[in-house]
Amino acid sequence: MRYSANGNSFVIFNLLTKPMNDYEKERLVLENVGDDDGALFVEKKDELFAMDYFNRDGKRAKFCGNGSRAFLKYLFDEGYINEGRIKFWSYAGVLEGIVKRDKVSVAMPDASSIEKVYFDSCEGYLITVGVPHFVVRRENVEKIDVEKVGKYLRDLSNANVDFFEEISRGFLRIRTYERGVERETKACGSGATATFIVYRKETKVTEATFYTLGGPLRLYLSEGKIFLEGSVERCSEG
């Protein structure tokens, strides 16, 4: 089963009745994910639906923002859950999502660290939101060679790399080179969240729209949490 969350594409494997060990999961990812960004394994832990996410390189990541939205939409489409709020398990902790027919929101993990750093004279913020991100503010983001510059900074920082610029207050353009996928992806939910946190340090906004290659993502504060919201589509069966 394939899903796309703002252009982030995932293969979903239902393990509710057929558990797998980590080696079996890794082999399944390497043999089946192909050109998609990663794989989501649907499981149960402590009576909660559980998401186990692997990047396309066959390695587990603690969390994936857009992946978690695809995970919840799959549960809804398959009749496991109804519209509304739901708690689910992830390697980044127990989180909450809000499921509607046309969009899915997820309360993102709290940032565990944030610091201004330099990599080869490139200034940015290193911040962990489930997974690490190096957030860089640049002009003319559309013109950046993300495959080249992003790969270089990813190797130096050992993190995902996000380039962003402000279009107007509360509206930003963002492009991300993802670690583990090892290329630019059409969107990155945790990258947008990390960038939102950095942007809020300067502006104090409580909501922002991020324009990604795969379409707009909305980030907003609610009940002390940052929520990531966007569309999710089922691409294929099987």
Active site residues: 64, 188
CA-to-CA distance for 222 and 176, rounded, in angstroms? Answer: 25
Q: Which of 124, 201, 195 is nearest to 209 (CA)?
A: 195
Q: Which of 234, 203, 238 is nearest to 219 (CA)?
A: 203
Of the chain, the end-to-end C-alpha distance in Å amounts to 5
